[in-house]
Chains A and B, each alone.
Chain A
Amino acid sequence: MAERETEGGQLRRNFDPTTNKDSRGYEGPRKMADMDGILDDIDALVHKGSLADSYKQTGGQ
């Protein structure tokens, strides 16, 4: 079990990277690497034109 600690030492919890859970059963945040396998699908959805540059809204509250 790896001990993780914030800079201020105010929060401690035991986190097991092999199970991605801490001692209370909390599931650790998803790893960035999880996204690698789905970028093909995402990239296909991305607009290749000037969508963002032409995106103009009226000011609201």
Chain B
Amino acid sequence: MALKRIMGTETEYGITGGDASSVVSAYKNGKKEHANLAETNQSILPEYEDVGGHIGGDYGSLAEQLEAASPNIFSHTNWINRIGAAARSFSRLGFTHGLSDNTLPNGARFYVDMGHPEYSTPETSNPRDLVIVDKAGERIVDMAARSAGKGIKIWKNNSDGQGSSYGCHENYLMKRMGSEDFSTKLVRGLMPFFVTRQLFSGSGKIGMEEPSSLPWHGELGNFSGQPSTTKPYTQEVFERNRDRVINGLETLDNFLANRPDFKQAADAVREILKSCNDTGEPEFFQLSQRGDFFETEIGLQTTSNRPIINTRDEPHADSSKYMRLHVICGDANMCEFATYLKAGTTALVLDLIEDGIAPNFDILNPVNSIKSISRDQTRRWPVWLKDGKTTSAIEIQLAYLNAAKKAYAGRDKTTDNILLNWGNTLEALATDPMQLSGKIDWVTKLNLLARLASRNQVTLTHQTIKNAALQYHDVDQTQGLFYALQKRGAIDRIVTDAEIEHAITNPPIDTRAYLRGKATAHDETSGIDWGGFDIRVAGKNHTVRLDEPFCGTKAQLGDLDGLSSEEFLQRITSQDGISLSKKSSFMQGFGKGKRNKRKKSIGPINPQTFPPINQTPSSSLGYTHLLPNDDDMKGGKE
């Protein structure tokens, strides 16, 4: 079995100088010429060749692209032409409906959520393709912001440093499991991995924030239904709290010292004390943007009392067979490598869990650990277990890596590539994390900020350095500091700009996103959603359901461009994994003229309204469910 798992991201972007509605609305009306991209470095490592690459397009293999790419392909003028063409395509997309909630021709969704422009990628089948569509999302949001007006800036981060966080969620399709398996297999298997994967997925942050001690904020949420707020956690507060903890531990240490029966506890306390005394450098830089905002281990909520493992389970597919793992504990990544490794390792860990061979670690307090790992200035990242032993985040990750190696090494190129990079990354983290500058975000950012601080003879908490920390996440490729580094060859690339540009207007070809994306080209379609759409042909409305995410592919349906709506409907009729039904008479015309004004299936208001994990929200609708055959599962690489 090759690594082939439906995955995607949904990113809430920070925004300044305008509002999210104007940006999302500008997408449909985008008529302005958009700024060119500066020439970008294309130092793609050959090891990524043939890893994934199901996005499609007429680019051939990566090696062919690079061989064919003459030096001037990356020239300034060439990019003006290329991006100008993309911008014109963008303005011709012609979304006439769906003011702030669009389904895009690339199969993605672009909408407003909680005051943020949010982009949900189309489904991809592998982590490299996910990098491509994630980066395409950055450019789409940036282009929309440029169309919306001058001065609007878009930031791909997760924390404003003043108490608010907004997410970059990941979604992975899994085999349906019952509540017992969810607790015994999924939660046990995932928790140690999620607590520790920030070692390579964290985007880095100066300072800390913590939930307010006031009862009407923080852990309890507030009474107006708004998200809980988190207050900036200053160095002064940190040091005061740390001293309190150390004083308490020293008292406990003295108490235990005279009681031989408690030797194990005394040893544990001394270990903690040793670590505490090593922490607290004057300038505080932590691994994760999100770590400060997790307050519980498991839960359904996403805006307050955030859980490390989120139980929202809306597969948007055949819920009798599939469940969706909705991951909210990750950071938004700028580095392509970080996104790739984050998604790739998570997919492998899900394989381990589904196969019942994931490592077991009973972390004493996962919520404390996700914070303490992020905040550990010693970069030793100790983790305390329930059995009284101490391990480290790296050792936990190594256990997952070794289990995955033992089970899946040699399975396919994608798996081997992830295993190789996972191992190399852990090795670098264990020896000298700064070697990973250009690959993972927290290291790249710290490298940059430390050098800027040194150059300007200021500390990390200086206003200018905090500005630079924010500007690292600016998605404007002419102004953002991450892209300034990338342009100058300091960032490792694993995908090409040509692939990203193609993915702005074209869907992946080996998932149902292909059919969804192509459906947007027809005026007769409406209500386009993750799991299907309506189409009106010859005066009759038909509902199309896409309950099998690996169906509706280009390999299955062929080229859908240029077909009339009648031909389009005929082509997708009687295909595996695609079910059609005519709407009842009272529904006739319901969707007319409302193309892309889809119902909002992921409500942001009250997560408690979502069904518990064992409910099957769409199974009662009587969809036809068909399994893809082996050929379908081979993907649709051209």
Q: Which of B226-234, B257-265, B620-628 contacts A (4 or more CB under 8 A)?
A: B226-234
Within 8 A of A (CB), among B385-433: 394-395, 398, 402, 420, 423-424, 426-428, 430-431
Q: Name B430's closest neighbour in chain A (CB-CB).
A: A6
- Residue in A6, A42, A61 whose beta carbon sits within 8 Å of that of B166 in the complex: A61
- Give the A-binding residues of B (Cβ under 8 A): 12, 14-16, 45-47, 113-116, 155, 160-167, 169, 226-229, 302-303, 328, 394-395, 398, 402, 420, 423-424, 426-428, 430-431, 434-439, 447-448, 451-452, 455-456, 463-464, 466-471, 479, 481, 484-485, 488-490, 492, 604
In contact, B16 and A55 (Cβ under 8 angstroms):
yes
- A61 near B437 with CB under 8 A, answer no
Q: What is the interface of chain A, defined by CB distance below 8 A to chain B? A: 4, 6-8, 10-11, 13, 24-32, 34-36, 38-39, 41-43, 45-53, 55-61
Residue of A nearest to B163 (CB): A59
Instruction: Evaluate contact between B435 and A35: CB separation under 8 angstroms.
Output: no
Chain A residues positioned under 8 Å from B16 (CB to CB):
55
Known contacts A42-B448, A57-B14, A58-B227, then 5 further A-B pairs from the complex at CB < 8 Å, ordered by chain A residue:
A29-B436, A43-B455, A47-B471, A51-B470, A60-B166
Chain A residues closer than 8 Å to B435, beta-carbon distance: 28-31
Q: With contacts A38-B490, A58-B164 known, is A52 near B448, CB below 8 A?
A: no
A59 and B114 in contact, given A10-B398, A13-B427, A26-B47 (Cβ under 8 angstroms): yes
Q: Which residues of A contact B15 (CB under 8 A)?
A: 57
Nearest chain-B residue to A34 (Cβ)?
A: B490
18 A–B contact pairs at CB < 8 A?
A8-B394, A11-B426, A26-B420, A29-B439, A30-B492, A34-B437, A35-B451, A35-B485, A39-B455, A42-B481, A47-B468, A48-B467, A49-B463, A51-B470, A57-B115, A58-B114, A59-B163, A60-B164
Query: What 9 A-B pairs come out closest when comparing CB atoms?
Result: A60-B166, A59-B227, A52-B466, A58-B115, A29-B435, A61-B302, A30-B438, A47-B467, A57-B160
Residues of A within 8 A of B451 (CB): 32, 35-36, 39
Contact A29 B164 (CB under 8 A): no
Nearest Cβ distance between residue A44 and chain B, in whole angstroms? 9
Judge whether A59 and B436 touch: CB under 8 Å.
Answer: no
Bound complex: CA A33 to CA B439 (Å) = 15
Question: Which residue of B12, B428, B438, B488 is within 8 Å of A61 (Cβ)?
Answer: B12
Q: Is there an interface contact between B114 and A30, defined as CB atoms closer than 8 Å?
A: no
State how many angstroms separate the Cβ of B455 from the closest Cβ of chain A.
6
- The CA of A59 and the CA of B394, in the complex, are separated in Å by 31
Q: Which residue of A lies closest to B45 (CB)?
A: A27
Bound complex: CA A34 to CA B210 (Å): 36
Contact B470 A52 (CB under 8 A): yes
Task: Report A48 CB to chain B, min CB distance, Å.
Answer: 6
- CB of A52 within 8 A of CB of B47, answer no
Contacts of B423 in A (CB 8 A): 11
Separation in Å of the B442 CB from the closest CB of chain A?
Answer: 14
Name the distance in Å between B72's Cβ and chain A's nearest Cβ.
Answer: 22
Given A26-B424, A29-B436; A55-B430 close (CB under 8 Å): no
| B227 & A38 in contact (Cβ 8 Å cutoff) | no
From residue B176, how far is it (CB to closest CB) to chain A in Å?
A: 24
In chain A, what residue has the closest Cβ to B492?
A30
Q: With contacts A60-B227, A61-B302 known, is A46 near B467, CB below 8 A?
A: yes
* A31 vs B437: C-alpha distance when bound (angstroms): 7
Give the docked Cα–Cα distance between A57 and B303 (Å).
Answer: 14
A6: nearest residue on chain B (CB-CB)? B430
Docked complex Cα distance between A28 and B492 (Å): 11
| Inter-chain contacts of B160 with A (CB < 8 A) | 55-57
> Do B452 and A46 have beta carbons less than 8 Å apart?
yes
Q: B169–A30 contact, CB under 8 A?
A: no
Chain A residues, Cβ within 8 Å of B447: 32, 35
**Least CB distance, B421 to chain A, in whole angstroms:** 9
With CB as the reference atom, state the residue of chain B lying closest to A36: B451
B398 to chain A, nearest CB (A): 5
Measured in the bound complex, the distance between the Cα atoms of B436 and A27 in whole Å is 12
Q: Knowing A11-B427, A60-B166 are in contact, say whether A29-B481 is a contact too (CB < 8 A).
A: no
Chain A proximity of B434: nearest CB distance (Å): 5
The answer to whether B115 and A51 have CB atoms under 8 Å apart is no
Alpha-carbon separation in the docked complex, A57 to B16 (Å)? 8
Query: Is A57 a contact of B166 with CB atoms below 8 Å?
Result: yes
Q: Are A52 and B113 in contact (CB under 8 A)?
A: no
Across-interface contacts of B226 in A (CB, < 8 A): 59
Given A11-B423, A55-B160, are A61 and B114 neighbors across the interface (CB < 8 Å)?
Answer: yes
